[in-house]
Structure 1
Amino acid sequence: MNDERRGYVYGLTAYVMWGFFPIYFKLLRPAAPLEILAHRVIWSVLFVSLVLAAMRNWRFLSGLLRDRRRLGGAALAAVFIGLNWATYIYGVNSSRVVETALGYFITPLVVVLLGVSVQRERLRAWQWVAVGVGTLAVAVLTVDYGRLPYIALILAATFGTYSLIKKRLSLPPAEGLFVESAVLALPALIYLGWLGNTGDAVFGQVSAGHTVLMMLAGVATAVPLLLFAASANRVSLVGMGMMQYVAPILQLACGVLLYREPMPAPRLAGFALVWVALIIFTVDGIRRARAAGRNAAADTESRRVAAGPVAATTEPAAALPPR
């Protein structure tokens, strides 16, 4: 198996794991969403600590602690990913799996809008069309729900903002997850201590299997993230862009087929508009990437020709196997 195929295996495995997260978090009931979140944070810190110890990669902490800007950015990223996790767990365990899937469908469009408003990027014409269709979809779904689909919008906004912050920080996945979980660990411990004192803690009170599942929240958080990172290093951006829809499609299937959440015609129409927006967005991205690849190849060829016959005759020798 070549490196690119291995990257697709890693990426698809990560997205499939994320796609079946509704089943996992449903199994953690009757624990309340905040208790599940607190345990997810604590066990993530412990698991990623073991990963970093195995990698012998603790030196990044000293550099991060000396860099106040990056440390502040990591703390801000922790706040947004914590809000994202809490909203997702609440959505799943309040029987709104379909709405959580919608959140991850519209996340790419929110990321584009953040690029325009924060990064001062300019949208291409078809990107504006995709954003317009996505906005219409949200309007249709608002009429159907009788309210704004706030769980979907919070998920998209928090994850989009988190992605923007992470892009600026450029922290490796394991190190980034450790810092973010560590920032959230103290409030999580305080909350779990308060639950224990009031007698409202569910952890350890349901069954041995439930306790193990709560403890595995750290593994469930870290493993797909590490697989995603391994995939991103091997697969093109176009390939990653196509795979990102696997998770919300599986989440939607879980909500409709497994948990029998309603999907009336107006709601289906709203989702159809979202899919149209994503198709426009994806096709435009693929065409843009291919055009950039052709331009890069043309530039390389023009430089080779401009370099003259010496460069042309010496180039094939570089392709010979080493002696």
Structure 2
Amino acid sequence: MSTKSAGTLYTIGAYLLWGVFPLYFLLLEPTGPFEVVAWRLLLTLVFCILLLVVTRGWEKLRIIWRQPKLLALTALAGALIYINWQVFVIAAMSGHVVETSLGYFINPIFTVLLGVLVLHERIRMAQWVAIGIAAVAVGVIIVAYGAFPWIALSLTASFGLYGLVKKKIGPSVDAVSGLTLESFWMIPIAAVILIVVAQDGHGITMGAVSPLHTVLLSCAGIATAVPLLLFAAGTRRVDLSLIGMIQFITPIMQFLLGWAVLGEPMPAERWIGFILVWIAIAVFVVDLLVQKSRGRRQAAAELV
């Protein structure tokens, strides 16, 4: 298998797994969303430590540990991914899967906007049009639907900023070391959550519901780490433009899951907002394809 084909399969695998995540979290009931994320943080760290043992990756981790700037960036990445995970699990376990899909539909467009505002990148007119349409779509949902899409916008902002931080980190931190440190910095948050949960009326559910529930909850670390590692392996092997198109697998799956499988409401106002978002995405993807085609023609012309 070629490097590009393998990278494509890795990337598709990651987005397929993220697409079915809501079903996995629904299987963890009656565990609450805060306890789920606490175990997710702790068990992801355990899984990453096991990977470091197997792959003998401690030296890479020690090199990173000697660089305060990199450590600070991994701590910031950890905080952002915690917010993303927490909001997503709350949404998945409270009947708002459709809104999570909206967040991930908007995310690529928000990432482009971050590039302009933070990295001072220049973007094409078609990308500005996509940003404008997406902004109108959010406005329609807020005004016509009468509800502020805080879940969607929180997911968009946290994951977009997480991607920006990871770009700042660059190749200096490998996938396993990065996820290990991000989980490590969030241990205090996980500990506080579990202490609070233990003292409320229901208590900690790990090991208290059924053997199957315990196994499923214990797999939270693996379920978190595997798609992230597949994604990291894929992005090193394929073009960013291809990833830009593959990434829509996840929100499409989540939208269909929330609307067609879980029966979440989709009144006309919400459909209008989503249709506008899909138009923005169409503009975004067509622009990517056009630029990729031009790049190939220019490369072919230079070889002649």
Which interval holds the TM-score relative to the shorter structure?
over 0.9
Q: 1:280 aligns with which of 280, 283, 288?
A: 283
1:139 maps to 2:139: yes
Output one character per residue of 1:160-188: Cα deviation in whole Å (capped at 9) or x when no partner: 00000001102222111111001102321
Residue of structure 2 in register with 1:229 after alignment: 232
Which has the larger Rg? 1
1:202 maps to 2:205: yes
Residues 106 and 277, structure 2, Cα contact 8 Å, conserved in 1: yes
**Higher mean C-alpha displacement, 168-177 vs 103-112:** 168-177
Output one character per residue of 1:220-258: Cα deviation in whole Å (capped at 9) or x when no partner: 011111111222222222221111000110011110111
Q: Shift in Å at residue 133 of structure 1?
A: 0.6
**Higher mean C-alpha displacement, 160-169 vs 263-272:** 263-272
Q: Shift in Å at residue 117 of structure 1?
A: 1.0
Residue of structure 1 in register with 2:10 after alignment: 10
Q: Shift in Å at residue 193 of structure 1?
A: 3.5
Unaligned 5+ runs, structure 2? none
Residues 108 and 244, structure 2, Cα contact 8 Å, conserved in 1: no
Separation in 1, partners of 2:50, 2:182: 16
Separation in 2, partners of 1:87, 1:175: 24
Unaligned 5+ runs, structure 1? 303-323
Residue of structure 1 in register with 2:23 after alignment: 23
Q: Shift in Å at residue 63 of structure 1?
A: 1.8
The within-5 A match list for 1:304-323 is none
**Higher mean C-alpha displacement, 220-229 vs 181-190:** 181-190
1:215 maps to 2:222: no
For the residue of structure 1 that corresponds to 2:60, the secondary structure is helix
Separation in 2, partners of 1:60, 1:74: 14
Separation in 2, partners of 1:142, 1:226: 36
Separation in 2, partners of 1:92, 1:78: 21
Residue of structure 1 in register with 2:70 after alignment: 70
Instruction: Give the ranges of 4+ consecutive aligned residues of structure 1 lying more than 4 Å apart after TM superposition.
Output: none
**Higher mean C-alpha displacement, 199-208 vs 113-122:** 199-208
Output one character per residue of 1:62-112: Cα deviation in whole Å (capped at 9) or x when no partner: 222221111111101111100000000011111100000100000011111
For the residue of structure 2 that corresponds to 1:119, the secondary structure is coil
For the residue of structure 2 that corresponds to 1:145, the secondary structure is coil
Output one character per residue of 1:186-236: Cα deviation in whole Å (capped at 9) or x when no partner: 321233234335562122221111111111010001111111122222222
1:248 maps to 2:251: yes
The within-5 A match list for 1:162-201 is 162-170=162-170, 171-198=173-200, 200-201=203-204
Q: Shift in Å at residue 264 of structure 1?
A: 1.5
Letter in 2 for 1:241: G
Residue of structure 1 in register with 2:45 after alignment: 45
Separation in 2, partners of 1:287, 1:76: 36
Q: Shift in Å at residue 259 of structure 1?
A: 0.8
For the residue of structure 1 that corresponds to 2:24, the secondary structure is helix
Letter in 2 for 1:219: I
Root mean square deviation, CA, Å: 1.5
Q: Structure 1 residues 144 and 262 mapped into 2: Cα distance closer, same or farther (>3 Å)?
A: farther
Residue of structure 2 in register with 1:119 after alignment: 119
Residue of structure 2 in register with 1:100 after alignment: 100
Identity over the aligned pairs, expressed in percent? 43
Separation in 1, partners of 2:208, 2:125: 56
Separation in 1, partners of 2:248, 2:9: 15
**Higher mean C-alpha displacement, 223-232 vs 131-140:** 223-232
Normalising by structure 1, we get a TM-score of 0.89
For the residue of structure 1 that corresponds to 2:186, the secondary structure is helix
Residue of structure 1 in register with 2:242 after alignment: 239
For the residue of structure 1 that corresponds to 2:123, the secondary structure is coil
For the residue of structure 1 that corresponds to 2:287, the secondary structure is helix
**Higher mean C-alpha displacement, 200-209 vs 131-140:** 200-209
Normalising by structure 2, we get a TM-score of 0.94
